[in-house]
Amino acid sequence: MKRIACIISLLAGFCLIPSAAMAQAGDGPTLNAADTAWILTATALVLFMTIPGLSLFYAGLVARKNVLSVLMNCFIITAVMSVVWVVCGYSIAFGDASPYWGGFGHLFAKGITTSGMSDGGLPDYLFFAFQMTFFIITPALMVGAFVERMKFSAVILFTIFWSILVYAPVCHWVWGGNGFMFDWGTKDLAGGIVVHLTAGIGALVACIMVGPRKGYGSAQLQPHSLPLCVTGTGMLWVGWFGFNAGSGLAANGDAAQTLVVTHLSAATATIVWSLCEKMKHGKASVLGAVTGAIAGLAAITPASGDVGPMGGLAIGAASGFICWFASTAVKSKFGYDDSLDVVGVHGVGGLVGTLMVAFFAAGALGGKSGADYASGAQFVIQLKSSVITIVYTLIVTVVILYIVKAICGGSLRVTDSEEEEGLDLSAHGESGYN
């Protein structure tokens, strides 16, 4: 009997060994399968926004002789930014060197492992990949401001320098965890400041320094294929659900609400922009409808994690009107050739959402903030963060473009004959349509 009891005790001991090991292993974060699956999907959706979504949206808006040039710009930016992100972009954006600069502690993805994961149970490589798609699309947005006239080499160099010196530091300030705007409590779920405001200001500086297209203001510079443009817009609209709803990094009710308010903002802005055109010109254009949708999507980006349906409707309506006014009356007044309305849609739209979230995050207006939330104080934070970002982006972009201009032989743009021929043939030796 004693012998049997001894054997049983030994077997029990052996059984406890793996249990103890499992318990020890479980002391750290464990994989959250649902969140991981959702963010894998969201990562693919955001990349889908650039290629093919943004690519087709922009390609449809240019002349037929430049369609391949625009597609190539978006495509090569996707490739180049992916490499830059691994080399130093991620480190500068999400390192912890200081509140102003992430540093070089994660160069070449140093410290990221297949076993590493966040406290929320997301693999480190997945967060790395998700943020990389934002790093890709932001400089790609700026392409729309200087299409049809900027040298291909200048586009690549400008994109590299700008992403390292503008996007990555601003990303660190807002999203880096120890960034000074993060510490202020700046609300920017998916990039009203980090993505749209920086891209808008960068685009404004670039289109002014490159100069207008030949014939701008005197000739009719019409989109060559609105069907391509509408197709790209549809892809962007769907992809934006990953952009916004994925930025909470969780598959939960908050993500579902974010998806809903994102959709509502886009829909409302589409309606408002179309109504503005109808009242102004007597007809609502297809181009106006799709541009309005993008404006609503850009504007809700910073606010989508903090506002309810009421906020989605209000921000969509405001962005539909304000972005329409900025892209028509304001652009016409000052005469800058923001070819595809990056400034008016993304820059202005991002600013509208960044400021309006301060009010519509309040519980009384359907937002998610608690009873002690102070809209006025939050507005000051949002405004301060926006002004700093605008000033920094403007100054650094000017410096970058002068450096790129010097490297590219003293000019950012192609020759008059190359512009006349079209960049498809002059820059790439190919034609989009045979």
- For the stretch 188-240, pLDDT in tens is 999 999 999 999 999 999 999 999 999 898 888 899 999 999 999 999 999 99
Q: Is the residue at 384 inside a domain?
A: yes
pLDDT of residue 27: 59
Largest CA distance in the chain: 105
In angstroms, the Cα distances linking 394 to 50, 208, 242, 399 are: 24, 12, 29, 9
Q: Is the residue at 79 inside a domain?
A: yes
Number of domains in the chain: 1
In angstroms, the Cα distances linking 308 to 177, 251, 305 are: 25, 18, 9
Angle between helix axes 124-142 and 67-84 (nearest 10 degrees) is 140
Q: Is the residue at 17 inside a domain?
A: no
Whether 10 has a pLDDT exceeding 90, the answer reads no
Whether 15 has a pLDDT exceeding 90, the answer reads no
Mean local confidence (pLDDT), 7-28: 42
Domain containing residue 89: 33-428
Rounded distance between C-alpha atoms, residue 254 and residue 245, angstroms: 8
Q: Where is average pLDDT lowest: 26-30, 222-226, 338-342, 364-368?
A: 26-30
Whether 12 has a pLDDT exceeding 50, the answer reads no
Q: Is the residue at 4 inside a domain?
A: no
User: CA torsion sign, 51 to 52 to 54 to 58?
Assistant: positive
Q: Is the residue at 193 inside a domain?
A: yes
Q: Is the residue at 91 inside a domain?
A: yes
Whether 62 has a pLDDT exceeding 60, the answer reads yes
> Which residue's entry shows tokens 């943020």?
131
Task: Compute CA 53 distance to the chain's CA centroid, rounded to the nearest angstrom.
Answer: 13
Q: Where is average pLDDT lowest: 42-56, 150-164, 215-229, 264-278?
A: 215-229
Q: SS3 of 33, please?
A: helix
Mean pLDDT of the chain: 93
pLDDT interval class at 429 (50, 70, 90): very high
Q: Which of 184, 247, 252 lies closest to 35 in space, CA to CA? A: 252
Judge whether 181 and 334 are in contact, CB under 8 Å: no
pLDDT of residue 235: 98
Q: What is the CATH number of the domain that holds 344?
A: 1.10.3430.10
pLDDT of residue 23: 36
pLDDT of residue 118: 87
Could you read off the pLDDT of 387-408 as tens digits, one per residue? 999 999 999 999 999 999 999 9
Mean local confidence (pLDDT), 270-297: 98
Rounded distance between C-alpha atoms, residue 45 and residue 323, angstroms: 25
pLDDT of residue 14: 38
Structure tokens of 305?
A: 């994690």
Q: Is the residue at 19 inside a domain?
A: no
Whether 21 has a pLDDT exceeding 90, the answer reads no
Q: Is the residue at 7 inside a domain?
A: no
What's this model's pTM, rounded to 2 decimal places?
0.92
